[in-house]
């Protein structure tokens, strides 16, 4: 390919595409000196720019997407009527054309304002009129010019111009720049095979720096703005610097493209090589009589499918996928996807069960050995085993007809929900249930799970897809009927990924989970034989439809006596073993454990108690390793010696807080168990305002407003000054303000605190109360009574005021708690005030002063400790 043909194919003004082979012959003849071959061709001599006198006005030919430089030959195609008219007039005259580039190459007919102001004077060297009416030109660039003013726009553009010569400075710098430009272009030509070597050789022979710039810029691909900048720059040195920058960037882009191409080619070559090697390996194995990898996989899966005892639907699906696997080459991407899918199908325990141990006495012994108390839960497990045993023994008597078998299915599973504060043994109870029944145990935590695919799995179309957590756990446990614990079900979350709680509706419904369909497997898996157990700290965040599918069993906090027994039988032996102590080395007295429970922990469960026992054991282990004497019996004094001063003295706190009017002790329920709650009220001169603080919710705010309205409506009966509310503001505060609090059960406590404030009567320090109030003073029932009373018992309260409708709930309390406390059921606020307030004869100041002294003494003792 010659230089002119390369020029014609790669850098042509696109008024219309010069695809005519005849035009190529014209270009070739212009370089090789051939004569015109036909009558419609005209040839004119090439002029040197030094012999050309620039006229004052020039016809302007707009160019689209092309910049013409001086000292270059450029082919142009003319197709628009006004441009053809311009060429006809120019050819009949001095053959000079002003070649100016349009700023926007998309414009069909650019106006004067759409053109650059600097262009190149072109001399028409050869003209060819095509049969389609277009004109093909070969134009020689002579010199630069600047447009001063457009003098006409019709029939074509014409403007007054002035010549713009270049500024040339001789020296080593310009020679070095010119050589650098030539070397860069030669390097680019080596990476582009379509650039002819003749062109590179002719450019290398050019010595004039200006001609070097224009020749290379004419052939080099670049942005239109960069090409125009090279034309407009006056200094030859700056032209060379600009061209060096463009060529350097182009060189880097080409090198990077070659690198990418080579890497892709090498990857393709590698794949082809591996393909041929595999084919050769297959041929060799066939000659040796050995099965190839694919045949071995297919045969292995066939055996596993037959031995898995799958349901008919699953067996059909597995055979279909196995047939697809056998027809695919091992190098195919789909091969690995199908192989992984089959591996999941054959590894699930479709018919692998563990036999239930239906010995009721054995189950009772296991449950009693592992956990103290929890009577309701143990009875529920024993009931489940007893029913299952009866059904097994009387199976023939309850046989269904064939028609019933098609409609109904046997529900063997059960869904229990253990609700209670942390540390009461919900999670560990699941392991004991599995051991009692002789089943395998598996647990997953749902805390923070927010993606539905975590439960139901991902579609196989996704890369890295896998089944959900349910089937993953079933596969790990390798049993069709395990005890499956879903921990922290109340801490599920949901967002744009989906709602995992809704996905659990099918899992935890005995009517639906016989055909649980995971998105990955797409076949039914029977979960009805699984015994699901869920745990939660509160039911408030569990959706109603999900809660309806579970049998809720509440676990309240432990009493002090129960904690002592749990510590002796479970916590202490474990901590002694974990800290390297022998059972005969250390023992705790009941008094020592009671000190830990009362003064170092404040919880419904026993986790903090176990940590404190562990802290004492670590102190003893340190002393033993240092050969120092230790106390073998840990009593109250030893506990203080090893752990320091007490952290909680709730009885002293209650006495100190209730020593002034306007403070009442209430009972609250939280997700971590029951708590005592102080309600404080003060009065100040003002305009009957009512302020409530303490991070309380809307329900508790409404209870406070109801209590205030009731107290104001009963001013006469309560002997309240009728002008008190007009002269005073009341501020109601619930301490521990950083903890959110809400609910209606503090209504009676708020009303009592307000009456105590206004009447200056103290609230009894040993009384705790709970209940919702109405505007007419009735006391309504509340929830969480057992946890609240256990918290009051831990705090040392002796008398509890509770709604009369909650009186039957007292039967759920341990017997030692019922005997150690007095319970007064109330119907109205009047009943509450009668039992909660100190008689009017008592002196608040005297009681307050005495309590203050005792508080200072207690503080001094704490400080000394």
CA atoms of 523 and 514, how far apart (whole Å): 12
State yes or no: is 788 an active-site residue: yes
Residues 671 and 775 in one domain: yes
Q: Is 433 left (phi over 0), alpha (psi -120 to 50) or beta?
A: alpha
- Closest C-alpha among 496, 478, 230 to residue 347: 478
CATH of the domain at 56: 2.30.130.40
Residue 424 annotated as part of some ligand binding site: yes
Cα angle 112, 115, 117 (rounded to 5 degrees) comes to 100
Note whether residue 531 is domain-resident: yes
In angstroms and rounded to an integer, the radius of gyration of the C-alpha atoms of the chain is 48
Note whether residue 214 is domain-resident: no
Please give the pLDDT value at position 377: 79
Residue 423 annotated as part of some ligand binding site: yes
What is the DSSP secondary-structure string of 650-709? HHHHHHHHTTSTTEEEEEEEETTEEEEEEEEEEEEESSS-EEEESSB-HHHHHHHHHHHH
Residue 165 annotated as part of some ligand binding site: no
The residues facing 288 across adjacent strands are: none
Catalytic residue among 29, 528, 745, 756: 745
Please give the pLDDT value at position 476: 92
CA atoms in the 13 A half-sphere facing the CB of 442 = 19
Please give the pLDDT value at position 30: 41
**Total count of domains within the chain:** 5
CA dihedral over 217, 220, 225, 226, signed as positive or negative: negative
Residues 430 and 574 in one domain: no
Residues 485 and 387 in one domain: yes
- Assign 164 to helix, strand or coil: coil
Note whether residue 283 is domain-resident: no
Query: What pTM did the predictor assign?
Result: 0.58
Please give the pLDDT value at position 649: 65
Residues 816 and 726 in one domain: yes
Residues 488 and 606 in one domain: no
CATH of the domain at 389: 3.40.50.300
CATH of the domain at 613: 1.10.8.60
pLDDT tens per residue, range 92-121: 888 889 999 998 888 888 888 889 989 999
CA-to-CA dists, residue 424 to 351, 373, 374, 605, angstroms = 35, 10, 9, 4
CB neighbourhood size of 741 (10 A): 18
Please give the pLDDT value at position 537: 86
Note whether residue 471 is domain-resident: yes
- Closest C-alpha among 670, 686, 731, 738 to residue 704: 731
Please give the pLDDT value at position 855: 38
Residues 663 and 564 in one domain: no
Residue 735 annotated as part of some ligand binding site: no
- Closest C-alpha among 343, 315, 705 to residue 524: 315
Burial category of 624 from C-beta neighbours within 10 Å (exposed 0-12, middle 13-18, buried 19 and up): middle
End of a domain among 509, 536, 554?
554
Catalytic residue among 8, 378, 786, 788: 788
Given a contact cutoff of 8 angstroms between Cβ atoms, the answer to whether 177 and 199 are in contact is no
End of a domain among 163, 187, 221?
163
CA atoms of 201 and 187, how far apart (whole Å): 12
End of a domain among 109, 134, 163?
163
Residues 739 and 785 in one domain: yes
Burial category of 20 from C-beta neighbours within 10 Å (exposed 0-12, middle 13-18, buried 19 and up): middle
Q: Which residues, given as ranges, of the chain have pLDDT below 70?
A: 1-52, 282, 285-293, 395-413, 496-497, 649-651, 688, 737-738, 840-865
CB neighbourhood size of 302 (10 A): 15
Residues 299 and 325 in one domain: yes
Residues 782 and 814 in one domain: yes
Note whether residue 12 is domain-resident: yes
Note whether residue 865 is domain-resident: no
Using the structure block, give the residue that is written with the tokens 């099965």.
291
Residue 770 annotated as part of some ligand binding site: no
Range of the domain at 600: 560-643
CATH of the domain at 755: 3.30.230.10
Residue 427 annotated as part of some ligand binding site: yes
CB neighbourhood size of 185 (10 A): 25
Residues 514 and 468 in one domain: yes
Residues 79 and 49 in one domain: yes
Note whether residue 281 is domain-resident: no
- Closest C-alpha among 417, 392, 359, 488 to residue 367: 359
Note whether residue 268 is domain-resident: no
State yes or no: is 563 an active-site residue: no
The residues facing 829 across adjacent strands are: none
Residues 633 and 668 in one domain: no
- Assign 140 to helix, strand or coil: strand
SS3 assignment for 527-594: CCCCEEEEEECCCCCCCHHHHHCCEEEECCCCCHHHHHHHHHHHHHHHHHHHCCCCCCCCEECHHHHH
Please give the pLDDT value at position 280: 75
Using the structure block, give the residue that is written with the tokens 């009577």.
375
């Amino acid at each position: 390919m010659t230089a002119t043909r390369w020029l014609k194919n790669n850098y042509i003004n696109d008024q219309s595409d010069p695809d005519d082979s005849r035009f190529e012959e014209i270009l070739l003849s212009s370089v090789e000196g051939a004569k015109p071959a036909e009558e419609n061709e005209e040839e004119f001599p090439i002029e040197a720019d030094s012999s050309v006198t620039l006229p004052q006005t020039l016809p302007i030919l707009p160019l689209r997407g092309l910049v013409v430089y001086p000292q270059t030959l450029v082919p142009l195609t003319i197709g628009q009527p006004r441009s053809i008219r311009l060429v006809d007039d120019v050819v009949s005259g001095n053959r000079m054309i002003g070649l100016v580039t349009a700023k926007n190459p998309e414009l069909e007919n650019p106006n004067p304002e759409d053109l650059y102001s600097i262009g190149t004077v072109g001399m028409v060297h050869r003209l060819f009129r095509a049969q389609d009416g277009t004109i093909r030109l070969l134009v020689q660039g002579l010199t630069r010019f600047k447009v001063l003013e457009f003098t006409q726009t019709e029939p074509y553009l014409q403007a007054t111009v002035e010549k713009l010569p270049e500024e040339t400075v001789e020296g080593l710098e310009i020679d070095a720049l010119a050589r650098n430009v030539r070397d860069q272009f030669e390097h680019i030509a080596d990476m582009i095979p379509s650039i002819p070597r003749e062109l590179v050789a002719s450019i290398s022979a050019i010595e004039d720096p200006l001609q070097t710039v224009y020749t290379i810029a004419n052939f080099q691909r670049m942005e239109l703005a960069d090409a125009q900048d090279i034309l407009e720059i006056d200094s030859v040195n700056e032209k060379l610097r600009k061209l060096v920058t463009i060529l350097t960037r182009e060189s880097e882009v080409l090198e990077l493209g070659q690198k990418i191409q080579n890497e892709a080619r090498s990857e393709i070559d590698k794949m082809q090589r591996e393909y041929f090697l595999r084919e050769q390996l297959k041929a060799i194995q066939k000659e040796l009589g050995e099965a190839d990898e694919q045949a071995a996989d297919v045969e292995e899966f066939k055996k596993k499918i037959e031995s898995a005892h799958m349901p008919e639907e699953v067996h059909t699906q597995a055979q279909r996928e196995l047939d697809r696997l056998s027809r695919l080459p091992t190098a195919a991407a789909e091969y690995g996807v199908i192989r992984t899918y089959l591996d999941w199908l054959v590894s699930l325990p479709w018919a692998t069960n563990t036999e239930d141990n239906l010995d009721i006495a054995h189950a009772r012994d296991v449950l009693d050995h592992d956990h103290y108390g929890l009577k309701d839960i143990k009875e529920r497990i024993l009931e489940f085993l007893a029913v299952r045993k009866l059904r097994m023994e009387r199976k023939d008597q309850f046989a269904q007809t064939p028609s019933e078998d098609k409609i109904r299915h046997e529900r063997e599973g059960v869904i229990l929900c253990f609700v209670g504060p942390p540390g009461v043994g919900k999670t560990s109870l699941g392991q004991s249930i599995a051991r009692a029944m002789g089943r395998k145990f598996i647990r997953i935590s749902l805390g923070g799970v927010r993606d539905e695919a975590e439960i139901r799995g991902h579609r196989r179309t996704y890369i890295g897809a896998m089944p959900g957590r349910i089937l993953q756990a079933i596969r790990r446990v390798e049993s069709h009927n395990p005890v499956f614990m879903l921990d922290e079900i109340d801490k599920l979350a949901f967002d744009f990924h989906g709602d995992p709680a809704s996905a659990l509706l099918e899992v935890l419904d005995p009517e639906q989970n016989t055909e649980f369909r995971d998105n990955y497997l797409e076949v039914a898996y029977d979960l009805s034989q699984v015994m699901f157990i869920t745990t939660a700290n509160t039911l408030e965040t569990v959706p109603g439809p999900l809660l309806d599918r579970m049998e809720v069993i509440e676990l309240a906090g432990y009493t002090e006596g129960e904690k002592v027994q749990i510590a002796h039988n479970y916590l202490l032996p474990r901590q002694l073993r974990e800290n390297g102590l022998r059972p005969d080395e250390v023992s705790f007295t009941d008094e020592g454990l009671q000190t830990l429970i009362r003064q170092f922990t404040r919880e419904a469960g026993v986790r903090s108690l176990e940590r404190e026992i562990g802290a004492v054991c670590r102190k003893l282990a340190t002393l033993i390793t240092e050969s120092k004497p230790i106390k073998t019996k840990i009593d109250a004094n030893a506990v203080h010696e090893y752990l320091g001063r007490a952290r909680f003295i709730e009885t002293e706190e209650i006495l100190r807080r209730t020593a002034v009017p306007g403070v009442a002790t209430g009972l609250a329920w939280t997700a971590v168990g029951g708590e005592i709650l102080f309600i404080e009220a003060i009065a100040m001169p003002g305009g009957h305002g009512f302020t409530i603080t303490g991070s309380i919710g809307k329900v508790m705010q409404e209870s406070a407003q109801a209590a205030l309205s009731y107290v104001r409506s009963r001013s006469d009966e309560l002997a309240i000054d009728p002008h008190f509310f007009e002269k005073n503001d009341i501020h109601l505060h619930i301490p521990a303000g950083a903890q959110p609090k809400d609910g209606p059960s503090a209504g009676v406590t708020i009303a009592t605190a307000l009456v105590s404030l206004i009447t200056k009567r103290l609230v009894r320090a040993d009384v705790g109360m709970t209940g919702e109030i109405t505007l007419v003073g009735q006391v309504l029932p509340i929830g969480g009574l057992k946890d609240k009373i256990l918290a009051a018992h831990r705090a040392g309260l002796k008398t509890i005021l509770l709604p009369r409708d909650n009186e039957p709930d007292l039967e759920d309390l341990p017997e030692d708690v019922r005997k150690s406390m007095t319970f007064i059921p109330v119907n109205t606020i009047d009943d509450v005030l009668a039992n909660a307030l100190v008689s009017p004869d008592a002196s608040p100041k005297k009681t307050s002063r005495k309590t203050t002294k005792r508080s200072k003494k207690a503080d001094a003792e704490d400080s000394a400790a």
